[in-house]
A and B are shown apart, each in its own frame.
Chain A
Amino acid sequence: DIVMTQSPLSLPVTLGQPASISCRSSQSLVHSDGSNHLDWFHQRPGQSPRRLIYKVSNRESGVPDRFSGSGSGTDFTLKISRVEAEDVGIYYCMQGTHWKTFGQGTKLEIK
């Protein structure tokens, strides 16, 4: 089974400053179709998760362009260029190449 490891698990950030979350997989996420099936989700307290990014770097409709994703193989990164108050919550990566596995989650809070 593929294990997804996120870091850091806690991320205090000052408003307007950048933030970065790392996600590493125990096996390559390159699918037979040539793409990496790696999603990023955001979950606010009391809400269901919302997908922000699919296949590493594709933003969902309505997701601000301050969110960006990168990576390939086993190493992936979610970056927020300038953190806003509405960005607080927990961020999860998820691989969909070999069934599906989520990372442990990274809790973003405002300093």
Chain B
Amino acid sequence: EAQLVESGGGLVQPGGSLRLSCAASGFTFSTYWMSWVRQAPGKGLEWVANTKEDGSDKYYVDSVKGRFTISRDNAKNSLFLQMNSLRAEDTAIYYCARDSHGGIDSLGPGTQVIVSS
């Protein structure tokens, strides 16, 4: 069974940066596309970005293009999200997710990001 555990969230000022990490276990990490999904307080789910198995292809939702970078380290079974130029509207729970069957089959418990002065 896939296990995904996020870390790195916290309180950051507008314009600041954070780097989220996701530790994956229970499956062969290097054979799956991986995603980040977020959920603003009291709101619905929003896909943020994903990356191909080997990290060669990366895609982003328009609202984070140029500010967020997704990356992975297959040797360490880890997924990352570097978030720069953070805005209040980036405040959310960020979930690490595994892509499968054309969608997403597992999400971690999430890490909270709060952007506020």
Contacts and interface: CB of A to CB of B under 8 A. Distances in A.
Tell me whether A and B are bound partners: yes
Nearest to B62: A1
B73 interface: no
Given A100-B35, A102-B45, A48 B102 contact: no
Interface string B39-75: 0000011110010000000010110000000000000
Contacts, number: 66
Interface residues of A, number: 29
Chain B's interface: helix, strand, loop or mixed, by majority?
A: strand
A100 B100 contact: no
* Tier of interface size on chain B: 20 to 34
A104 B44 contact: yes
Given A48-B110, A49-B107, A31 B45 contact: no
B62 A100 contact: no
B42 to A, nearest CB: 11
> For chain A, what secondary structure do more than half of its interface residues adopt (helix, strand, loop), or is it mixed?
loop
8 contacts: A38-B103, A51-B104, A51-B105, A54-B100, A54-B101, A97-B102, A100-B47, A100-B104
Interface of B: 35, 44-47, 50, 59, 61-62, 95, 99-110
